[in-house]
Amino acid sequence: MAAIGTDWRMVDGVATAWFDAPSLVEGAALTGRIADLSPEAVVDLRATGLRVRLDHDEHADAVSAAARDLGLAADPAALQQLGVVLESARPSALSGFWQRALDYAPGEDGGLVDPLRRDPALRIAPSTEDRPLRNRLHLDVVRPAAAVEQAGLGEASGPFGVCHADPDGNEVDLVPGGALDARTGTADWQAVFSAMACYRITAPARQRDLVAAAAALADARGFPLLVDVRPGLVVLDSGKDQWVDDAHGLELDFLDLAADLQTAARGLGGTADPELPRFAQLFLDAADVAAVRAFWIAALGYTPDRRAGATDIHDPRRLNPVLVFQELDASETQRRRQRNRLHVELVVPSDLAQQRLAAITAAGGRLLDGSEDRWRLTDPEGNEMVLVGGA
């Protein structure tokens, strides 16, 4: 593994690097080189660069050399991983519920992982503390309608009829998505808060060609398309709400771009998998939305949604989950005082952990306890986050 001070860091147990790129096309060039070097690499291509994750570090130096050859520099400060931890006296009773809700598989240390390596990771930790009231934090998950039905979580509740609770009462809004549009030119696309098309494509050369074609089409329109590359799979994604006109602020009809991307994918032998699109975000109830939202913007280095009235904040690189805030009735004093049964876990490179800890406390975070590489903090209303340095 490359030493600290070079391009690569261990983040949540995985050798990870971020390379800045001025465009999708230039990032796609490095993505193609990586596919040649390490076909099992996990690459998340964005308009400002790409994140690369390697299960085996033997190709790390070669990937870095390819990046330098293309004039792309690494930025370890961009690396972070945001996950969710559920605390329960009976972890095994919760596991099946969340596997079905998220379409995840069992991982290590009580964790659940997405086989396609999307976020957020979820872990169920043992706890004996009694916390009977509703959490102030829950997940929103959007999947195709057929997948929602197949998950079999039982009868939903709530004002929108999409809320489900696990045996401990932890909630998820499991929302059915649908077709992006009625026109046949976008039949491969699903609206799951973002617009998404997932293409199975087995030939590595055609996979590289699809990434390059998608990058060129998006760059030509100035659209910050998200392109996730996995072995045998390319995911094209608008990002949450970015296919909606007032979200991206461009003179662009996203449906036209989606149709062109679909044509390119099918022309290269890509086959859309309608079961795979999935979007997940975190929803936080707060008595003082402005103060709590400001804390999380600073703590996570996130960016506020540009639309008036939207409380969303998002990772500027669109790698980690969106957070959304809604007002909590200030009279619910007992619920506000109770510790949530779930919290977020933020993993950053070990050599940058102290810097991030200082930023979180400067933003109003209260340090509850800590060790050499792990610190438990709260936001202004007592919602907890755990900061982890390194693996």
Quick one: pLDDT at residue 2?
39
Quick one: pLDDT at residue 301?
96
How would you write the pLDDT of the chain (391 residues) with one tens digit per residue? Answer: 334 448 999 998 899 999 999 999 999 999 999 999 998 999 999 999 999 999 888 899 999 999 999 999 999 999 999 999 999 999 999 999 999 999 999 987 768 989 998 889 899 999 998 899 999 999 999 999 999 999 999 999 999 999 999 999 999 999 999 999 988 899 999 999 999 999 999 899 999 999 999 999 999 999 999 999 999 999 999 999 998 877 777 788 999 999 999 999 999 999 999 999 999 999 999 999 999 999 999 999 999 998 888 999 999 999 999 999 999 988 888 998 899 999 999 999 999 999 999 999 999 999 999 888 999 999 999 999 999 998 6
Q: What angle do CA 235, 237, 243 make, to 5 degrees?
A: 160
Backbone angles phi, psi at 35, to 5 degrees: -60, -35
Residue 65 CB partners (closer than 8 Å, separation 6+): none
Residues of the chain with CATH 3.40.462: 9-79+186-272
Q: Whole-model pTM above 0.85?
A: yes
Residues of the chain with CATH 3.10.180.10: 81-177+278-389
Which residue type does 55 have? D
CATH code reported for the domain at 9-79+186-272: 3.40.462
Q: What are the respective helix, strand and coil percentages of the chain, to the nearest 5?
A: 30, 30, 40
Quick one: pLDDT at residue 248?
75
CA distance 90 to 167: 9
Dihedral sign computed on CA atoms, order 18, 22, 28, 33: negative
Quick one: pLDDT at residue 332?
85
Q: What is the DSSP string of 54-110?
A: ESSGGGHHHHHHHHHHTT--B-GGG--EEEEEEEES-HHHHHHHHHHHHT-EE-STT
How many residues comprise the chain? 391
Q: Classify domain 81-177+278-389 by CATH architecture.
A: Roll (3.10)
Quick one: pLDDT at residue 3?
45
Residue 366 CB partners (closer than 8 Å, separation 6+): 377, 378
Closest CA to 265 of 211, 302, 307: 211
Q: Is 239 exposed, middle or buried (0-12, 13-18, 19+ CB in 10 A)?
A: buried
Quick one: pLDDT at residue 4?
42
